[in-house]
Amino acid sequence: MNSTVQLDWKAATWAGIIAGFVFLALEMVMVPLFGGGSPWGPPRMMAAIVLGEGVLPPPATFDLGIIMAAMGLHLVLSIVYTVVFALMVNRLSLGPALALGGVGGLVLYLVNFYGFTTLFPWFAMARNWISIFGHAVFGLVSAGAYAAIRKHHHREEAGAGAPLREKKA
């Protein structure tokens, strides 16, 4: 029997998309609610990575091109980070996977807001509990969604090869 569990790439991709949207929605709600900023501030900070600092607030208003750039980059990074998390939690049950995902999210916060500030100095302005919380939730959702989708895929695969049974009258 093979004791290795292969990474479910489809599950990791979908989990990354889900976690990315949850993170962005959470940031866009919490920043104005608790931080007094604009909901468009977080996407503009993300978009500035590819579009340059000129898109940073103020004004932190809606701009479709900036939002699209932010979403494209953010979802790609969310999938990449989720693949890394999935590799770490691939053989774990849900409880330990969630714990490791939450810790992974906190490590991701440190990398993003302390490591990458050399390249993207505007990240320093978002070093706060909102970003810490958002990253922890990203890790939890990433790991939890991966575990749930992977489990669903395995059930589908197990059921696909099973012979159909006729109902007895």
Structure confidence by residue, pLDDT tens digits, 55-72: 997 878 999 999 999 999
Which residue from 74, 79, 86 is spatially nearest to 144, judged by alpha carbons?
86
Domain limits, the chain: 9-154
Burial 67-101 (b: 16+ CB within 10 A, else e): bebbbebbbebbbebbbebbeebbebeeeebbebb
pTM: 0.87
Q: What's the pLDDT tens digit per position in 99-145?
A: 999 999 999 999 999 999 999 999 999 999 999 999 999 999 999 99
Half-sphere exposure in the Cβ direction for 57 (13 Å, CA): 18
